[in-house]
Structures are given as structure tokens and as C-alpha cells.
Amino acid sequence: MADARMNRQVLLVSRPQSEASVDNFRLVETPLPPLEDGQVRVRNHFLSLDPYMRGRMNDTKSYAPPQPLDEVMIGGTAGEVIESRNPAFKAGDRVVGMFGWQEYGTSDGSGLRVVDTTHVPLSAYLGAAGMPGVTAWYGLNGIIEPKAGETVVVSAASGAVGSVVGQLAKAAGCRAVGIAGGEEKCRYVVETLGFDACVDYKAGRLYDDLKAAVPDGVDGYFENVGGEVLDAVFARMNAFGRIAVCGMISGYDGKPLPMKAPALILSQRLKVQGFIVSEHMDVWPRALKELGEGIASGKLKYRESIAQGIENAPQAFLGLLRGKNFGKQLVKLV
């Protein structure tokens, strides 16, 4: 074998009983086999860390099969083709794929997409110009369907998805109100992202602060969190309000997460709808185009938290689950 290069990978080796921990993961080194005909090899530059990964660690019935044990942890990646025996790719191509938590990816090209980094940075294709951005776009346009003058609230507002939701809502002529953890994040949401207001749920006055931030009630809510945040927003929903349920990160460790007052669904005639962005592939081209244009023009703003080195991926992921990230959480691999 001419190619003796080693590939560092992170495997899921056990499932959390409640909270996930670094012990659920293991770093291994695997020699890279020579490329076969039709294959392409990518040096991953960035690994995307996303809340949905916590769900995959569990062995419970959900929309996706669980992540198998002792295999490379699932995840989106962005990198550069370093070797190709596939005519659709050439060395130097910037590509986005789902190679998971490892430094190199090898594939037959399926699921790999060449991206243009002239005006949009490579890392953004894992954030505002990628899956999280499309998630925001679909939940807002496909479920909430905001009308100018309405109030749209989003939780985890400084995150990869929430930050896009609020900016798109503003662009649609809505009052955009974020919910985020801590003064610094809230300041960023208002001053940099341009939301009309942001409620710091860590300040201990969630309901009162939210009530003050939505004087005309809430018409659309983009839910990333669940639990008491959902209960608080629910209580301020206007008649015919729409709630797009994208995530319930506060329940991912398995603790019960009841909804306090579901009767409001009736009395306010709400529509509450869950969605998974990968099931709406028809909107991706349009959404990606709009999001890419927004980023290229500088109108759509985003922020990244970047951990360095594959060996730090587990710790960075656990931080994401606890809200320690500020913006899109990435791991830089080169």
C-alpha cells in the first residue's frame, strides 16, 4: 500500500443512560485504504455539530434509525477533494457531505455536493447556507407562513437555525423576537442579527419578559427547545397561531417533558406541526439559493463557535447540548 495515511475517527461506543458524556465516544486511528475506481477521497475541513445527533445516540424509536455502536458518529462535513477516481470530482473541489466525525471521507460520490466558495465561505455550507439554514427556511415558510405585521418568536435564537429564522421573519415584515440563554447572546440577537427583542431565559423571568416582548401576542413560533419555554410561548399565542416544532433539546436526555396547557390548541385554534428538513428536499434548491444570496450580500448574518481538532468533537458536542456554543458549532479539522 502506497498510502499509509491514517484517518482519525470518533466512534459512538455506548449509549447515554441520561446525559451524554465523553465516555460514550472513542477516538480511533484507521489506515486509509487505496482509492478504488469510481471513488473520491475528501479531506474534511469542518465537521458540523447539531442537536439532532443527541437523538441518534439513543436506541429508541424515532424518525431515523439510531446511530450504530462502534461506527463513525454521523454528521455533516465540508472539505476538499484530495484524490478522485470519479469523473464528477477533481482534486481541489470543495464539497459538502455526510462523512461523520472523521478527518477523511471516502465515497462513490453519492451524497457529495460540490459548492462554490467564491462568495460563501466553506463553513457556511454547514450552517446558514446548509441544513440549519434550510431548516429555518422550511419551518418559517412551510409551516408558520408569516404575514407582514405578525410577531414571530424563535427559541435558541442565537443558534445556527434560530438566527436564520429571526432574520427571515424580519425580512418578511414581521416583529422578530428571540429567546436565548444569557445577556451576551441576547445582545447579539438584537444588535447584530437585528431582531426586535430577545428574552434571556436564564434571567428567571421568562414569562413576564416574554409577555413584555410580544405586546401583540405571538402569531408564529419556531420551537427548538421544548419544556417551560414552550409553555411560556404557548400562553401568549394568538388565535390561529402556528408553531413549527423543529427540536425539543430540553428533553433529549430522556427526562419527561410534558406540555402544560394543550387545551390552548383548541381555544386559540393553533396549528402545531413537527417537521424534519430532510423530508422536504423539494424546497432545498430554492432555500439554498436564497440563503446563499443573503450570505454573499452580507445581509444574512451568522456566527460560528469553532472547536479545533477531531479529538475535541465530543466535548464540543456536549457543550452544544448545554448551550455553551454561541452560533453554529463546528469542529475545524485542518
Q: Which residues bind a second copy (CB under 8 A)?
A: 55, 61-63, 226, 230, 239, 245-248, 251, 256-263, 265-276, 279
Please, which residue, 69 or 239, has the CB nearer to a second copy?
A: 239
Please, which residue, 205 or 269, has the CB nearer to a second copy?
A: 269
Bridge partners for 53 per DSSP: none
CA distances from 286 to 87, 129, 168, 261, 301 (A): 27, 11, 14, 37, 19
Task: Please state the closest distance from residue 61 (CB atom) to a second copy, in A.
Answer: 8
Please, which residue, 63 or 117, has the CB nearer to a second copy?
A: 63
State how far the Cα of 314 lies from the Cα of 24, in Å rounded to an integer: 9
Separation of first and last alpha carbons in the chain: 24
Task: Please state the closest distance from residue 265 (CB atom) to a second copy, in A.
Answer: 4
CA distances from 96 to 76, 112, 248 (A): 7, 6, 26
Please, which residue, 108 or 253, has the CB nearer to a second copy?
A: 253
Task: Please state the closest distance from residue 280 (CB atom) to a second copy, in A.
Answer: 10
Task: Please state the closest distance from residue 269 (CB atom) to a second copy, in A.
Answer: 5
Q: What are phi and psi of 10, to 5 degrees?
A: -110, 125
State how far the Cα of 312 lies from the Cα of 306, in Å rounded to an integer: 10
Angle at 152 between CA 172 and CA 144, to 5 degrees: 75
Q: Which residue has the cell 447579539?
A: 188
Tell me if residue 125 falls in helix, strand or coil.
helix
Please, which residue, 192 or 267, has the CB nearer to a second copy?
A: 267
Task: Please state the closest distance from residue 28 (CB atom) to a second copy, in A.
Answer: 31
